[in-house]
Chain A
Amino acid sequence: GAGVSQSPSNKVTEKGKDVELRCDPISGHTALYWYRQSLGQGLEFLIYFQGNSAPDKSGLPSDRFSAERTGGSVSTLTIQRTQQEDSAVYLCASSLGSGLAENEQFFGPGTRLTVL
């Protein structure tokens, strides 16, 4: 079956512009995660959605970052007023659920964001 897909694969934007990154999780997966991979910081957690529960936003680095998950499936990560330090690869993952036998995370190919 299809894995996690993300779009666009690459995005180049100018400082100060807003960007939207999209993630399509594996069909039937109720949990969705966003991570960021940057050169100096490694891989870091951003936000987690589980079903209809309130998302865990504890990893979002500033209020310029927000994410939505519509209909329990597709998610959009929005970065407003982009800064050069936002340049990174943004990775999305999904898992069947959050229970002990369901929490293996499967990752998409990522979106490489470059802020000029």
Chain B
Amino acid sequence: KQEVTQIPAALSVPEGENLVLNCSFTDSAIYNLQWFRQDPGKGLTSLLLIQSSQREQTSGRLNASLDKSSGRSTLYIAASQPGDSATYLCALLGAGGFQKLVFGTGTRLLVSP
């Protein structure tokens, strides 16, 4: 059974810092990995999707990497802003025809002005 863990559970940084969020998983047989952000009381916003054959994806100040062999993904946020404050979730789509995302435990990020 796929287990997905995110470290740290919570992170507080001053504005402008670069930061890294970590996601680890136990089963490397995946189709893709998605990073989402969730604002309080809201749904999920897709940030980046990495297919299993890819090693990284970039969008603006965000860069996500994937290392299937070690069961790890990182989300790098450059020059953090207060508007980046949210909960960040990684989720994996497993291989084997099962079309369900398995979500990590989330990292709650607070960026202070």
Contacts A43-B89, A100-B31 known; A106 to B46 CB distance under 8 Å?
Answer: yes
Interface residue SS majority, chain B: strand
- Contact-residue size bin, chain A (C-beta under 8 Å from the other chain): 20 to 34
**Chain A 98-113 interface 0/1 with B at a Cβ cutoff of 8 Å (1 = within):** 1011011111111010
The CA of A50 and the CA of B98, in the complex, are separated in Å by: 11
A56 with B103: CB separation less than 8 A: no
Contacts A104-B34, A105-B34, A107-B36 known; A45 to B100 CB distance under 8 Å?
Answer: yes
B99 with A48: CB separation less than 8 A: yes
Cross-chain contact of B46 among A43, A56, A104, A110 (Cβ < 8 A): A104
- Contact-residue size bin, chain B (C-beta under 8 Å from the other chain): 20 to 34
Tell whether B93 is near chain A: CB-to-CB under 8 Å. Answer: yes
**Chain A residues near B105 (CB, 8 Å)?**
42
The CA of A15 and the CA of B91, in the complex, are separated in Å by: 32
B106 with A42: CB separation less than 8 A: yes
**Chain A residues near B100 (CB, 8 Å)?**
33, 45, 48, 56, 58-59
Within 8 A of A (CB), among B29-81: 31-32, 34, 36, 41-46, 49, 51
Closest 7 CB pairs of A and B: A45-B100, A43-B103, A107-B44, A109-B43, A107-B43, A104-B49, A110-B43
Interface positions of B (Cβ within 8 A of A):
31-32, 34, 36, 41-46, 49, 51, 89, 91, 93, 98-103, 105-106
In the assembled complex, 11 residue pairs joining A and B whose CB atoms fall closer than 8 Å, in A order, are A33-B101, A43-B101, A45-B100, A45-B102, A48-B100, A56-B100, A98-B99, A100-B31, A104-B34, A105-B101, A112-B41
